[in-house]
Amino acid sequence: MVLFGYGTNAIRWIATDAENKMDTAALQQAIADDLRGSKTPFMVVGTAGDVSTGAVDDLRAIAGICRQYDLWFHIDGAYGVPAAVVPAYRALFDGMAEADSIALDPHKWLYSPLEAGCTLVKNPKHLLDTFSSHAAYYNFDSTDGDIPAHNYYEFSLQNSRSFRALKVWLGLQQAGRDGYVQLISADIALARLLFEQAAAHPELKAISHSLSISTLRYVPSECRDGRPETATYLNALNEALLNELQRGGEVFLSNAVVRGSYCLRACVVNFRTTAQDIDAIIQIIVREGRETHLRLQQQPVSTAVA
Ligand SMILES: *Cc1c(COP(=O)(O)O)cnc(C)c1O
């Protein structure tokens, strides 16, 4: 929206449900409201693996709404889309094939070295219509027999470009479809293991698990009363804890805010991650969680208030 001059005010943010998926009734409503207000919706962006929790929208339902209103259906699958190759997860991505375009980052779950971003577009003609230009000093239109020239500068904003496709192609050649099924399945299993270990630990609370993302919180036993002051303290505690973990350099977790709760977030997208790493993450979180809790408790009240 910014790139094409519409500005962020042109975006309608659609509410999500309890599972962090797009509320498709709210989507339908927003489109109807805009049409009544003489606005012209033209694209819906669904998510296949949201950044915070890995949630996958109901792509089939969104595709139906896009068809009904003749809208472009884009899927942000930057992180999650490669999981569609795993047979057990295929159904979760049902409707994906109806997308007009899909964003996918091979440097995430296809394990390519940074950076390699990619947009798949169903009809390449749209890219040529949008991006192709023929400056007088361009002479790239020669054909190879009957095969027309395939000039990548005509498919995106970028003209001069490095050969990023090579590393992506090599990964695909080396691991193959079966290799990706195995590697991605293993990452998902490790994220689930982390979730289960957090659920079983008396000082941790498992919050969410989807694809290879799990979120959890450090919750000391005396902080389980559910009072609003305690909820505020737990957010501060987990934020301070995350900063400690990132500074400490032993693990790198990120954060997610899930239904108002500040969480620690682990996203497993490395085929070298093992079950021992998951054990270590749990131990480090608990060790640092206790320390951070103690430190916050020891802060004099006056300082904490000031
Ligand atoms: C990572 C990610 C992005 C941003 O991708 P970049 O490669 O950093 O540009 C966008 N959407 C989702 C869902 C992501 O996971």
Tokens describing residue 282: 């749990």
Cα of 230 vs centre of ligand 1, distance in Å, is: 33
Question: What torsion, rounded to 10 degrees, do the Cα atoms 124, 128, 130, 134 define?
Answer: 170
Residue-wise pLDDT for 269-286, tens only, equals: 999 999 999 999 999 999
Instruction: Render pLDDT for 12-59 as a digit per residue (tens, 0 to 9).
Output: 999 999 999 999 999 999 999 999 999 999 999 999 999 999 999 999
The burial class, CB within 10 Å (0-12 / 13-18 / 19+), for 22 is buried
pLDDT digits (tens, 9 = 90+) for 124-178: 899 999 898 887 887 777 667 777 778 888 888 888 888 999 999 999 999 999 9
- The identity of residue 36, as a single letter, is R
Per the structure block, which two tokens stand in for 150? 């395939």
pLDDT at position 95: 98
For residue 69, which amino acid is it? Y
Distance 213 CA to ligand 1 centre (A): 14
What is the tens place of the pLDDT at every residue in 168-222?
Answer: 999 999 999 999 999 999 999 999 999 999 999 999 999 999 999 999 999 999 9
Q: Give residue 219 CA to ligand 1 midpoint distance, Å.
A: 30
- What count of other Cβ atoms lies within 10 Å of the Cβ of residue 292? 22
Give distance in angstroms: CA of 22 to centre of ligand 1. Answer: 18
Mutation pick for ligand 1 pocket among 102, 105, 112, 265 (CB with most ligand atoms within 8 Å): 105
Q: Whose CA is nearest to atom 5 of ligand 1?
A: 78
Alpha carbons within 13 angstroms on the beta-carbon side of residue 183 total 19
Compute the distance between CA of residue 61 and CA of residue 26 in angstroms, rounded to an integer: 12
CA triplet 38, 40, 41: central angle to 5 degrees? Answer: 135
**What is the model's pLDDT at position 159?**
86
169 CA distance to ligand 1 middle (Å): 20
Say if residue 40 is exposed, middle or buried (CB neighbours under 10 Å; 0-12, 13-18, 19+).
Answer: exposed
Q: Whose CA is closest to atom 9 on ligand 1?
A: 117
The rounded distance, in Å, linking the Cα atoms of 109 and 49 is 11
Residue with tokens 């992180």: 79
Q: What mean pLDDT do residues 113-119 have?
A: 94
Q: What gap in Å lies between CA 159 and CA 255, rounded to an integer?
A: 36
pLDDT of residue 302: 54
Regarding the beta carbon of 76 and ligand 1, being less than 6 Å apart is answered yes
72-89: b (≥16 Cβ within 10 Å) or e? ebbbbbbbbbbbbbbeeb
Phi, psi (rounded to 5 degrees) for 151: -100, 110
14, 31 Cβ separation under 8 angstroms = no
pLDDT at 306: 42
- DSSP letters of 263-292? EEEEE---TT--HHHHHHHHHHHHHHHHHH
Mean pLDDT of the chain: 94
Q: What domains, with CATH codes, occur in the chain?
A: 8-171 (3.40.640.10), 177-297 (3.90.1150.170)
Residues 237-271: pLDDT tens digits?
Answer: 999 999 999 999 999 999 999 989 999 999 999 99
